[in-house]
């Protein structure tokens, strides 16, 4: 249980640190940044299903998130030519600019947060978790 406690508590604190940095500097949020990253990772093919799968959230939450991104002019929805039941999400110019700006802020905040920590353990943990649990990205 020590590993579980350590990893969950650290994740919670790290998320809070990065979220507060984004809010303070741009008014943005980590949830929106993560959603924009998913859309960018699936150019021309991103759907609500990709948000759900890649972010590990429910269909309802992914649908509401897509609605919010569209409302804020960060993505456009267009008809899916292969499946009329779904639509495709595409980053707008504002969405691409927001993604680039917020990603740079988060990378800087993460580097500041980690300081001079030896990152080889982190790289190893990411590789292990990604392989074991098919973590997206």
Tell me, yes or no, whether 12 lies in a domain: no
Tell me, yes or no, whether 42 lies in a domain: yes
CATH number reported for the structural domain that contains residue 61 in this entry: 1.10.10.10
Q: What is the pLDDT of residues 42-91, one digit of tens each?
A: 999 999 999 999 999 999 999 999 999 999 999 999 999 988 888 999 99
Name the pLDDT band for 134 (thresholds 50, 70, 90): low
pTM score of the predicted model: 0.85
Tell me, yes or no, whether 106 lies in a domain: yes
**What tokens appear for 67 in the block?**
């609605």
Residue keyed to tokens 């949020």: 29
- In the chain, % of residues over pLDDT 90: 66
The alpha carbon torsion through 124, 105, 60, 45 (nearest 10 deg) reads -80
Q: Is residue 96 scored above 70 in pLDDT?
A: yes
More confident residue, 28 or 129: 28
Tell me, yes or no, whether 11 lies in a domain: no
Tell me, yes or no, whether 45 lies in a domain: yes
Looking at residue 127, what is its pLDDT?
Answer: 84
Mean pLDDT rounded to a whole number for the chain: 91
How many domains would you assign to the chain? 1
Name the pLDDT band for 27 (thresholds 50, 70, 90): very high
Q: What is the pLDDT of residues 4-19, one digit of tens each?
A: 898 899 899 999 999 9
CA 86 to mean position of chain CA atoms: 21
Looking at residue 128, what is its pLDDT?
Answer: 83
80 burial via Cβ count (<10 Å: 0-12, 13-18, 19+) = middle
Tell me, yes or no, whether 10 lies in a domain: no
Tell me, yes or no, whether 5 lies in a domain: no
Residue 128's domain spans which residues? Answer: 17-133
Cα torsion angle, 15, 90, 87, 76, sign: positive
Name the pLDDT band for 135 (thresholds 50, 70, 90): low
Tell me, yes or no, whether 9 lies in a domain: no
């Amino acid at each position: 249980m020590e590993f579980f406690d350590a990893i969950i508590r650290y994740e919670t604190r790290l998320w809070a640190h990065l979220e507060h940095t984004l809010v303070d500097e741009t008014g943005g949020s980590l949830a929106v940044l993560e959603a924009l990253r998913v859309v960018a990772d699936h150019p021309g093919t991103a759907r609500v299903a990709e948000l759900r799968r890649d972010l590990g959230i429910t269909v309802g939450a992914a649908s509401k998130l897509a609605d919010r991104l569209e409302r804020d002019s960060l993505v456009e929805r267009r008809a899916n030519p292969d499946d009329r039941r779904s639509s495709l999400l595409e980053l707008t110019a504002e969405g691409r600019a927001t993604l680039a700006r917020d990603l740079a802020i988060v990378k800087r905040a993460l580097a500041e947060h980690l300081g001079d920590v030896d990152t080889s353990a982190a790289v190893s943990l990411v590789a292990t978790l990604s392989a074991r649990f098919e973590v997206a990205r």
